[in-house]
Amino acid sequence: MTNSKKSKQEKSAMGKGALQHAAGGEIHQSVEGEHPPLTTNQGVAIADNQNSLRANAKGPTLLEDFMLREKITHFDHERIPERVVHARGTGVHGFFELTDSLAQYTTARILTEVGEKTPVFTRLSTVAGGAGSIDTPRDVRGFAVKFYTKEGNWDLVGNNIPVFFIQDAIKFPDIIHAVKMEPDRGFPQSSTAHDTFWDFINHSPESMHMIMWIMSDRTIPRSLRMIEGFGVHSFRLLNDNGESTFVKFHWRPKLGLQSTIWDETVKIAGADQDYHRRDMFEAVTSGNFPEWEFAVQLFTEEEAAEFPFDHLDPTKLIPEELVPLKVIGRMVLDRWPSNFFAETEQVAYCPANIVPGLDFSNDPLLQGRLFSYLDTQLSRLGSPNFQQIPINSPKCPFGNQQRDGHMQMAPQAGQVAYEPNSLSKISPRETPHGFHSAAITETGGKGRIRAESFADHYSQARQFYISQTAYEQAHLASALVFELSRVTNHVREAMVGHLRHIAEDLAQRVATGLGLEKMPAAPVAAAPVQDLPPSPALQIIGKMKDTLMGRDIGILIADGSDGKVINKIKKAITDTGAGVKIIAPKVGGAMLADGSMLPADKQLAGAPSVLFDAVAIILSDEGAEMLSMDSAAIQFVQDAFSHLKAIAVDNGGQALLDIANVGLDAGIVDINDHDAFITAAKTRQWDREQYVRVLA
């Protein structure tokens, strides 16, 4: 065969995905229509790429699992120096204060010493996008807290969603590869609306619960100050007697939950790509410190055995109605980093960083994370001495016999570098008061196995959906239609089949939105779908707080606006704890009716209404006429109405609404009725939505 002919044939085969290349080795040709074997980098065929090697069906993951270690090690080292996931983050210093002791359950001093304030550094992030991506995609938000405790650093590394896509860490590289930019084209950035993501989900029914959360409004938050945080996994607390209690950790925002409308989210991305980071920066630097309650769910092994699910399955949550949350403390973020790179970028979180009195569960995703995060930090920060970077260093005394290494900045003095020894009376030694693991007996045959109790993939997904308000269900269905409309037909149809196990009405709404001619068959479920009771705690709308604290109101003015009216509405708003921004056609401000000049905080073209939680429009007749010729002003009021926001108007403001063909409802109030405006601004005008957009 000539080189030219061979090249053409090889290229043709590559186009069909028929070739596998081994670096430095031969090209392995598969028979057309058959898949070549999946192998390790050493060429060893892999029989099970779905499960890590475990001591038994519900036991810990074994270190000897060379396939898991090779796969995750390669994944952890894919990018340098940017994080592979959670690349775009916002970090803030603060403190944690314990308000209720857990001394009955744990010896961890951070959870027993009431009133003690422990320094923390919290990093909130998106997952899928790179460091230069936008703040507001539909995406999970990372929620990682480093506690600088008296007994060492404790890293609680979680998300704003209490469950995850996968049950076993060996699948983590696969889900991230699927959600990231498609490797042959380098897009889309920070988006799940593409083939590879949904193809993976279609083949991973265990992801269905997570999909309900991602397609809900939880993943388009109004602010990082208004998201919940979850430790995701079950952990253990150990008391003085060595007795173990399971625990799940929760963060609940003082400002309550709030999300955006999808159309609003898209427009925010265009108006301010740093919307969440800027919002957090302005809140912290102005003294409006974000705060979260810290709560736990406590339960025993015996209680867990009675749950209608396996709490060690990271695709499951424990409903608050089943195990109520116990609030034990609060976190306040009160200091912005002095240098973004030195702190927010270089901070290294590792779930394996725990303190005496805490321990791990056998959650197989957690077990893999205990290895993966440290390996990732070694790659990203380039040295085993990354803990010497100030943001990562404990604030308690620490010392050991580890020596040298790249970037060693704290050379230890003395003759010995080992333990025990008889040559030094001051070198660190092990102590009976140090860390102890829970004494858990493990039995059974090792193997690449998954517990039968992990087989139910649809029941909690159904529970989540039926727990939402009608508005939230419509948003979720519409999000699915949008995402699936952008993928290949067979993947689209297969996903609707999965939805039939969750809720037939949801599947029908999505199928109708996609224009499917007939309903696809549902795949065979690995376990019967249970009818779990609704959990109102899973809503957003039902958990919104009756407050304007932390919100921003925009007041649109122009030449001739009434200064007295502006001052009165501004005072009424600021008295609630909300912020006010004055918006005018020119950044210099506007000449008011009394001849005074009122400076503007924002210029109209650069401050669309999507950046505010409610708006007031105060205009003279001439000002309204002038703004009627400005497309930015027309869009300002149309978007405020379309995004279900409260709008306060005077006569000129109403004239602008009329010109923009904006209708009337209970959310549009007279500028002088401050109480009505404040009440309407605390929420969205949900009943308006049926008149402004078509939802699935």
Active site residues: 86, 159
Which residue from 646, 652, 674 is spatially nearest to 568, judged by alpha carbons?
674
**Strands 579-584, 602-603: parallel, antiparallel or unpaired by DSSP?**
parallel
Which residues, at least 6 apart from 55, have a Cβ–Cβ distance to it below 8 Å? 62, 442, 444, 446
Which residues, at least 6 apart from 277, have a Cβ–Cβ distance to it below 8 Å? 90, 135
- Residues 248, 253, 255: CA angle, nearest 5 degrees: 160
**Strands 614-617, 27-29: parallel, antiparallel or unpaired by DSSP?**
unpaired
End-to-end, the C-alpha distance of the chain in Å comes to: 57
Q: What is residue 95's three-state secondary structure?
A: strand
**Strands 235-238, 229-230: parallel, antiparallel or unpaired by DSSP?**
unpaired
Which residue from 266, 265, 229, 269 is spatially nearest to 249, judged by alpha carbons?
229
Enumerate the β-bridge partners of residue 245. Answer: 237
**Could you give phi then psi for residue 111, rounded to 5 degrees?**
-105, 10
DSSP state of 343: I
**Strands 291-299, 326-335: parallel, antiparallel or unpaired by DSSP?**
antiparallel
Distance CA 68, CA 40 (A): 10
Cβ burial 504-528 (10 Å sphere, 16+ → b, else e): eebbbbbbebbebeebbebeebeee
Distance CA 479, CA 473 (A): 10
Q: Are 333 and 290 in contact (CB under 8 A)?
A: yes
Distance CA 321, CA 325 (A): 9
**Could you give phi then psi for residue 681, rounded to 5 degrees?**
-75, -20
> What stretch of H or E contains 119?
strand 117-126
- In terms of C-beta density within 10 A (0-12 exposed, 13-18 middle, 19 or more buried), how is residue 286 classed? exposed
DSSP state of 38: P
Distance CA 250, CA 295 (A): 5
Enumerate the β-bridge partners of residue 297. Answer: 248
Which residue from 576, 555, 575, 551 is spatially nearest to 566, judged by alpha carbons?
555
Which residues, at least 6 apart from 576, have a Cβ–Cβ distance to it below 8 Å? 547, 548, 549, 678
Torsion of CA 10, 14, 16, 20, to 10 degrees: 110
